[in-house]
Structure 1
């Protein structure tokens, strides 16, 4: 079914946020140790966790633990603990181009998230007043662009390693829900010639095993021509090619930046729109709130609160 986007702040008033970075997790065998940012509401208990995977943009620091403040801050101020790693693909690390796994480090990105879950005790202890307040049974993953690819793998999507031909399963059963923001779609004839040649790991993406509840967010003007010949619909593949339960949020006139979710007032956002960012904030929060708390009505309320204006900002579909 389809409904217009809701208005208003279903989450209520925000609370102050405590953010600590960098918290360093030793990572033997990794090119550098894993640095993360942990953001949490100053009050509250039984706090669910969101792992947030950054994309691979042109800026030096948006694609790191220092990016995505519009999402991380919104979620943390409304009851989530948000953990943001700096993946090896980040320009901020200045790694040599011949570093194993370069340039996008698709496998280590997912392994970073698994390491974070393995080391939650360390991260929890590093944030003042946070110990004892995490709900370890309620964990979600979210990612934008290449971060969406990372999140897809953790949620159950699979691929064939182009180096050895082995099927890769990096899913983590501790993750109970996900949000994919402008994530890559299927491979094969959907890829551009350049992407097929330089990013062969995209060629065999298989969403049929991605059974974890997931919200897919896509812009209807996000053509990503450097990656796909299919146009904006490519970014809806994780929804259309995976089994339910899934939801698809299509944002009208949105390009790859989805209005500016990677950072406030960043020059590389081609479709800057505070209203669009606000919609992404509200809808993703509501989805994860309900997905991690069965019976919670936030997502249904978000879908039911119809926009009265003549120019809806997008639509939601569920299956």
Structure 2
């Protein structure tokens, strides 16, 4: 795993980050390094599906990796003492009472399990509760939505986690999506990636970026080939907006998110739109 933290500061809130399919601890620097520079302890495990581990889609173990991904995040929380002791200069600086789970794409599904989302089994019954009470906030970047006949046969056969139930996701969560993100796993349009906001009581906020595809402008990494919609400005806004959300959700600054959301919405040249259930009900 990669552990990133600011050189100075105490009572650092913890942000777990789960990578997308095939990635590893060295990805997503545009997000994770930015968060660390703004006062968060960021922990990035490498999951079994990483290309570095050699598990391809046709490997017998692949269809069960989604549960190991969730276990990876829980193991990090279980072993915080070991992590703290292993990183020079980190001792005594962690606030274990403030933890967010975040992730991109498949990593979003991994993170949302700790936030409360469950999986429908083949009989249509809601499965096991894999939430973690230590996690009090979340951000889902381009996380896949509810399952159904729109899923392509390969996804139906190999990705059981693409049948989520969001009703049980009650932890405060921000959803980030692109309005040009067309999945190869589903015939539904980009709105598929907003389902967590649509159906979850906990996902109270949604940011939708205009023209953004699955990499959301380049959050996966700098000069990454799969970033088909390279947009440094979009990435910069996502950096600032996600940080503002984390600062409020993890009780660093109660006004940070509302201020950032208002500025985002009031832009004379908007690059996206913000929606909030809290505002709709106020």
Q: Same fold judged by TM-score > 0.5? A: yes
> Where do 1:239-258 residues align within 5 Å?
239-244=197-202, 246-258=204-216
Partner residue, 2:5? 40
- Residues 60-108 of structure 1 show CA distances to partners (whole Å, capped at 9, x for unaligned) of xxx1011110011000000000000000010111247676641571100
Q: Select the residue among 272, 276, 279 that pairs with 1:318.
A: 276
TM-score (norm 2): 0.92
The CA deviation at 1:258 is 0.2
Q: Select the residue among 88, 92, 107 that pairs with 1:132.
A: 92
Tell me if the contact between 1:161 and 1:168 (Cα under 8 Å) persists in the aligned partners. no
Q: Select the residue among 16, 35, 55 that pairs with 2:20.
A: 55
Partner residue, 1:168? 128
Q: Which runs of 5+ in 2 are unaligned?
A: 278-282
Closer, same or farther: CA 198–95 of 1 in aligned 2, 3 Å = closer
1:210 corresponds to 2:186: no
Alignment coverage as a number of residue pairs: 277
Closer, same or farther: CA 227–93 of 1 in aligned 2, 3 Å = same
Structure number with higher helix proportion: 2
Partner residue, 1:198? 158
Q: CA RMSD in A?
A: 2.1
Q: Which runs of 5+ in 1 are unaligned?
A: 1-35, 58-62
TM-score (norm 1): 0.82
Tell me if the contact between 2:182 and 2:190 (Cα under 8 Å) persists in the aligned partners. yes
Distance in 2 between residues matched to 1:289 and 1:305, nearest whole Å: 16
> Where do 1:168-317 residues align within 5 Å?
168-202=128-162, 204-224=163-183, 226-244=184-202, 246-293=204-251, 296-306=254-264, 310-317=268-275
Higher relative contact order (CA 8 A, sep 6+): 1
Partner residue, 1:153? 113
- Residues 202-229 of structure 1 show CA distances to partners (whole Å, capped at 9, x for unaligned) of 1x310000000000000000011x2112
Closer, same or farther: CA 309–115 of 1 in aligned 2, 3 Å = closer
Closer, same or farther: CA 289–229 of 1 in aligned 2, 3 Å = same
1:121 corresponds to 2:121: no
- Residues 134-163 of structure 1 show CA distances to partners (whole Å, capped at 9, x for unaligned) of 000000011000000101111100013559
Partner residue, 2:29? 69
